[in-house]
Amino acid sequence: MDDENSMEMPPICPVCGLPVTERYRRKPGYKHAHGVCERKDTHRREHEREHGRRMRAEAELLDARSRVDRSARALIRAVEERNRTVRRANQAMVEECYWRVRLMIGVMSLTPMDLVGYREEWIVALARDIGSNGMGRIADLTGWKDARPWLLDPDIGSEGTARLVAPWPDIGPDDWIGYTADLDHMGNQGRAIDMVRLVDRIWNEDHHGTNRSDHGWWSLENKDPR
């Protein structure tokens, strides 16, 4: 048995490739690797595992940052597109109010008794859209001397029904952090259109602008409103 052990060839260390002459203390035979090499290999494997964990964490972080960046760019584009749409919608609303005023000027001039009667649904709706302040301004500028039944309408407001839609705040390079305008909808409802100012603008347009040669239906002088 001793002869067999003495003839046993030492194994080759899988780490350094040299023969292993170290033996186990509590059992016969050579160790499979040098103790120093084994410790180095254990440390190397731990280092590789730790490096792998760091690489996976960095990859996940880069992926998260990429997703956040894509989301931020998508939010910026969405806000820009919404604001462009809002500007077009607001312009269309102002133009609609412009023609509402012109239509009411025509009603006061051409069919005053329909307005005095205040029973035609479309006239009532038109007056409510313009609001009592705007209606009063039109009446003053046209020289209206009949009753003003819209003042007795409990459903007419002073400013009218038209509202501009407020744009969302623009987003700068870092402003998307904590941006909530798309979620809380605060300030989405913009200010009311100033119908009195719009009436004055139309009056000035007709009297001092391109239409000054033809005042249209503004003046009721020398006309029989009945």
Rounded CA-CA distance 99/125 in Å is 14
115 inside domain: yes
202 inside domain: yes
53 inside domain: no
Rounded CA-CA distance 22/10 in Å is 9
Rounded CA-CA distance 156/150 in Å is 7
196 inside domain: yes
43 inside domain: no
When pLDDT is cut at 50, 70 and 90, the band that residue 114 belongs to is very high
SS (HEC) of 50-109:
HHHHHHHHHHHHHHHHHHHHHHHHHHHHHHHHHHHHHHHHHHHHHHHHHHHHHHHHHHHH
Copy the structure tokens of residue 35.
């103790």
SS3 assignment, position 118: coil
Q: Percent of the chain beyond pLDDT 70?
A: 80
Rounded CA-CA distance 202/208 in Å is 10
Closest among 43, 42, 37 to 11, alpha carbons compared? 37
127 inside domain: yes
pTM: 0.64
Q: Which domain holds residue 161?
A: 91-208
Helix (H) / strand (E) element for 164: namely strand 163-165
Q: What angle do CA 146, 150, 152 make, to 5 degrees?
A: 105
Helix (H) / strand (E) element for 189: namely strand 189-192
How does pLDDT run across 49-79, given as a tens digit for each residue?
A: 888 888 888 888 888 888 888 888 888 888 8
Please state, rounded to an integer, the average pLDDT across all residues of the chain: 82
What domain count does the chain have? 1
Residue 95 has pLDDT above 70, yes or no: yes
30 inside domain: no
222 inside domain: no
Q: Percent of the chain beyond pLDDT 90?
A: 36
How does pLDDT run across 164-206, given as a tens digit for each residue?
A: 888 888 787 676 676 767 666 655 567 889 999 999 999 988 8
